Amino acid sequence: MTVDRPQSRDEWLATLDPGVARYVDVLDAAGIETYESCEGGPGHSYAEPAVRFYGVRGEGFRALAVALQHGFPVRAVRRIWTVDEDGCPHGPDWELAFWRASGC
């Protein structure tokens, strides 16, 4: 889910899927520039809980370190390129995928 930030941090966090809100909150507080997230599963855009974020070569590993320090169930750290409907690739960006949604 891609969203523009409302006025307060609490309002912004309330707009996120509950299953990834904690992951996004911690990553954002650590200075990781997230831009898309989804708790995954049936009816969702992603098959698994995941958070996408911007950053240079080492940013994915910094985000991985933050996630692991908080005990998050990280499944994968990925460097990704997305492709728009016109076939134009964008990226690379980063993605952290999780074994389960937060709070599970």
Q: What digits encode the pLDDT tens for the residues 75-90?
A: 999 999 999 999 999 9
Judge contact between 54 and 33, C-beta under 8 A. Answer: yes
The residue assigned the tokens 């009816």 is 43
Q: In the prediction, which pLDDT does 90 show?
A: 95
pLDDT at 12: 81
Q: Global pTM?
A: 0.86
Task: Look up residue 10 and give its amino acid.
Answer: D
Q: Could you give the CA distance from residue 103 to residue 17 in angstroms, rounded to a whole number? A: 12
**What is the rounded average pLDDT for all residues in the chain?**
91
pLDDT of residue 41: 85
Domain ranges of the chain: 9-98
Q: Is 77 helix (H, G, I), strand (E, B) or coil?
A: strand
pLDDT under 50 in the chain at which residues?
Answer: none
